[in-house]
Amino acid sequence: MSTFRVLQFNMQFGQIWDDMYPDRAPVRLEATVGEILKHDADVIFLQEVEQTPPGGDHVQPPPNYTRLCAELKGYHSWFSYPNPDPRELPFGVGLAIFSRTPLRSTLRRNLPSPPLEFEFFGKKTTPTDRLLIGAETTILGRDLLLYNTHLLAFFMLGSGSTAHPFQRNLVANQVNQSKGPTLLAGDFNVSRHKTLVDQFAKQGYQTVQDTEVTWRRKPFILDHIFYNAHLRCTAHRVCPTPASDHHALVADFEFVQ
């Protein structure tokens, strides 16, 4: 084997997709597990692993992550919630990296959000912070640095990350420190994705694809797998799935000698 496979998937805490009533769709974690397993990936990046309960407290141990660990036999993993915050809305939180090879040197970095005021069900609030996690592994005898993130959806607040680039810049600065093979995956929540792609291109990273929509709710390309010049993408595909409001993104890589 000379290539390895990567899966990027915002799992929306296991809530499946319903065309008529997407916000009322049931949580079926078995659909999430099935979607993940069918891609047979060596590295898996997941966002929105858990659902925030009322009050913003984090459930410990994380129930969905705990079940994923039990179902994904043979994988090593690293998970983190963002900082607990009573303002957290009842959506998905928490990032995970799963790898068939052991993970080491795990990293967790807070990504502060600006105090943009918005209204949610008649109540004014401001957005909570986001998160970047990372880890190192060794695949095919080569060291590989892995980063996973989920940025604030500024477009849902009537703004954009080009006007508020702080989170994007923190992530770019972090991956720019890498000197070897590096992957950066996640839900970047950038509706005008070209600005994001251009920004990371200046850091020496390209995305595996920027033409196919990855979100069901609007025709946006929110999900990416970025890689640097130490890697070559040999194949990729966007995989529509009813297991989430996001499609799965799969890519195969080889190391550049």
Range of the domain at 39: 4-255
Q: Look at residue 257 and tell me whether its pLDDT is greater than 80.
A: no
Residue 209 scores a pLDDT above 80: yes
The DSSP 8-state label assigned to residue 15 in this structure reads B
39, 80 Cβ separation under 8 angstroms: no
Residue 42, Cβ neighbours under 10 Å: how many? 21
How many CB atoms are closer than 10 A to CB 197? 18
Please give the average per-residue pLDDT across 192-221, as a whole number: 97
Residues of 11-38 as b/e, b for ≥16 C-beta within 10 angstroms? Answer: bbbbbbbeeeeeeebeeebebbbebbee
CATH number of the domain residue 60 falls in: 3.60.10.10
Mean pLDDT, the chain, whole residue set: 96
- Say which DSSP state 244 is in: S
- pLDDT at residue 1 is higher than 80: no
**Alpha-carbon distance 212 to 194, whole Å?**
13
Give the model's pLDDT for residue 175.
97
Q: What average pLDDT score do residues 229-252 get?
A: 98
14: left (phi over 0), alpha (psi -120 to 50) or beta: left
Task: Provide the domain count of the chain.
Answer: 1
Closest CA to 185 of 5, 8, 39: 8
d(CA 17, CA 50): 16
- Tokens 């095919």 correspond to 140
Looking at residue 78, its pLDDT comes to 98
Q: Is the bond preceding 61 in cis, omega lying within 30 degrees of 0?
A: yes
pLDDT, position 47? 98
Which residues, 6+ apart, have CB-to-CB distance to 234 below 8 Å? 3, 252, 253, 254
Q: What distance in Å separates the CA atoms of residue 76 and residue 97, rounded to the nearest whole number?
A: 8
What pTM was estimated for this model as a whole?
0.97
Q: 65: which 2 tokens?
A: 């992550």
pLDDT at 123 over 90: no
17 has pLDDT over 80: yes
